[in-house]
């Protein structure tokens, strides 16, 4: 089984399924493609009809898109419980992950990750300005606070124990850190910042970070 990803330093889409596969203790290899180089673009065109990462090659089939790979993992490794056991929590966990997967365009645009804006390491950039990105940040803070308040008693993650939404929000936590976002200024009572810090301290993410930095 092979996971094809973009550069670990800044490929937020690649981080998500990698975290999910690591949570499953799946036996997989990683192929990292420099998606911004001409050679990388040529390689990507050969392996990905959409010319996007991530992709999971398994049993002769290529599964693309981070959400699709996460759903595949939940089916293949049901014992890992990648979604919360409580049905109400599970419904909202899926809603939260899908909202992150398909939304928050202003945050992606104004707090973008790339060669000059990395998910790991000491690099920092000034906070963004603009009504749209402010609205996205407030929505994320509100969502984190609500889910932590309702379902977070069983652990430090969004629904207590680690689940798929945590993989999808880890890149958001890295954006908040890199762009030095003051969550308290966006309505946080402290629980959103604590959740952000838990994501950034999660052991699998720290492994990803170390691998990214060692490749510099």
Spell out the domain ranges in the chain.
2-80, 87-205
From the list 160, 159, 166, the residue with the least C-alpha distance to 196 is 166
| pLDDT tens-digit profile, the chain (216 residues) | 999 999 999 999 999 999 999 999 999 999 999 998 999 999 999 999 888 999 999 999 999 999 999 999 999 999 999 999 999 999 999 999 999 999 999 999 999 999 999 999 999 999 999 999 999 999 999 999 999 999 999 999 999 999 999 999 999 999 999 999 999 999 999 999 999 999 999 999 999 999 999 975
Q: Identify the architecture of domain 87-205 in CATH.
A: Up-down Bundle (1.20)
pTM over 0.75: yes
**CATH 3.40.30.10 at 2-80, yes or no:** yes
From the list 153, 69, 144, the residue with the least C-alpha distance to 104 is 144
Task: Using the structure block, give the residue that is written with the tokens 């999660």.
Answer: 202
Rounded to the nearest 5 percent, the helix, strand and coil shares of the chain are 55, 10, 35
């Amino acid at each position: 089984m092979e996971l094809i990803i973009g550069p670990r330093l800044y490929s937020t889409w690649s981080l998500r399924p990698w975290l999910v596969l690591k949570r499953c203790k799946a036996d997989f290899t990683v192929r990292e493609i420099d998606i911004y180089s001409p050679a990388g673009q040529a390689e990507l065109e050969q392996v990905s009809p959409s010319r996007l990462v991530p992709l999971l090659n398994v049993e002769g089939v290529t599964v693309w898109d981070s959400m699709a790979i996460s759903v595949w993992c939940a089916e293949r490794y049901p014992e890992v419980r990648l979604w919360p056991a409580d049905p109400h929590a599970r419904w909202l966990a899926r809603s939260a992950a899908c909202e992150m997967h398909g939304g928050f365009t202003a945050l992606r645009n104004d707090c973008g990750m790339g060669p000059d804006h990395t998910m790991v390491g000491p690099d920092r950039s000034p906070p963004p300005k603009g009504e749209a990105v402010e609205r996205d940040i407030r929505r994320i803070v509100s969502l984190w606070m609500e889910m932590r308040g309702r379902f977070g008693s069983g652990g430090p993650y969004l629904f207590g124990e680690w689940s798929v939404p945590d993989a999808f929000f880890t890149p958001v936590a890295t954006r908040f850190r890199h762009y030095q976002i003051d969550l308290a200024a966006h309505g946080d009572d402290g629980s959103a910042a604590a959740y952000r810090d838990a994501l950034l301290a999660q052991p699998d993410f720290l492994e990803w970070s170390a691998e990214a930095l060692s490749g510099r």
